[in-house]
Amino acid sequence: MAKYSLYPNSVKKLFDTIAPYYDHLNHLLSLGIDIYWRRTAVKELKGVDGMILDIATGTGDVAIAILNQNKFKSKVIGLDFSPPMIMKAKKKISKMGISSRILFILGDALSLPFSDNVFDASIIAFGLRNIFDKQKALSEMIRVVKVGGKVIILEFTLPEKGLLSKIYPFYFRKILPWIGGMLSGNKEAYEYLPESVYQFKEIIHYETLMKGFGLKDISLHHLTSGIAFVATGIKSTS
């Protein structure tokens, strides 16, 4: 059983610990499909040329994908509470020569350091389930976005139909933690991943959260037979 919990200090410690292996293991354990998932979510931001906030940015892959897709017309701020993750993200964009287009900062998703109605969109990828107070986190995501701006959630769920619904749980709870632990030296961190998904696995919970905060035009799309999903909504009032 994973020793990590959804309490902030525990989750922060987890991500601080796995930061050196994060990118490599994400790609390996998902067979590279995580790249497709992120790009699919980022497509929802096509044509958004203003300020975009990437919450729980990690090592910056979503922020970089936004910039590449929008042909450098967007200005992206990536926020994360893990110093090692932010450090890795900064090194990544420095090597790519795009440091002037993306700003990575330390911050708390439950208390975003921005005024109301300043961003044209906000996005969180594989981060909301790790936050203890999901309602507060979503409220903050919406607060900082302008009326008419888009709010996007990319998150894991569990396949409910077909063969994958039978074989995926075994891989997710047994094989993934074993491989992740062997390569990172921290099996508990990779036991936490499936447990965190099982704790908040129903996609309807995310839809209910979004509706509860007054987002309109909400859409939900399953990815890879239900392993992940993208949810989008438009801020209707300030």
Which residue would you say has higher pLDDT here, 54 or 166? 54
Unique residue bearing structure tokens 């909504």: 233
Is it the case that residue 25 has pLDDT exceeding 50? yes
Is it the case that residue 160 has pLDDT exceeding 90? no
Confidence band, pLDDT 50/70/90 cuts, at residue 192: confident
For domain 8-158+202-234, say whether CATH 3.40.50.2300 is its number: no
User: Phi-psi bin for 121: left (phi > 0), alpha (psi -120 to 50), beta?
Assistant: beta
Q: What is the pTM of this model?
A: 0.92
Is it the case that residue 64 has pLDDT exceeding 60? yes
Task: Calculate mean pLDDT across residues 43-51.
Answer: 92
Is it the case that residue 202 has pLDDT exceeding 80? no
Q: Lowest mean pLDDT of 55-59, 127-131, 136-140, name the range.
A: 127-131
Task: Calculate mean pLDDT across residues 83-98.
Answer: 96
Query: Radius of gyration (Cα) for the chain, nearest Å?
Result: 17
Share of the chain above pLDDT 70, in %: 95
Domain ranges of the chain: 8-158+202-234
pLDDT of the residue at 205: 75
pLDDT of the residue at 57: 98
pLDDT of the residue at 4: 47
pLDDT of the residue at 139: 96
Is it the case that residue 6 has pLDDT exceeding 60? no
- The listed range with the strongest mean pLDDT (105-114, 165-174, 176-185) is 105-114
Task: Calculate mean pLDDT across residues 183-207.
Answer: 81
Confidence band, pLDDT 50/70/90 cuts, at residue 11: confident
Question: pLDDT tens for residues 215-226?
Answer: 999 999 999 998
Question: pLDDT tens for residues 105-137?
Answer: 999 999 999 999 999 999 999 999 889 899 999
pLDDT of the residue at 144: 98
Confidence band, pLDDT 50/70/90 cuts, at residue 199: confident
Structure tokens at 204: 């309807």
Unique residue bearing structure tokens 């990779």: 190
Confidence band, pLDDT 50/70/90 cuts, at residue 189: confident
Q: Average pLDDT, whole number, for the chain?
A: 90
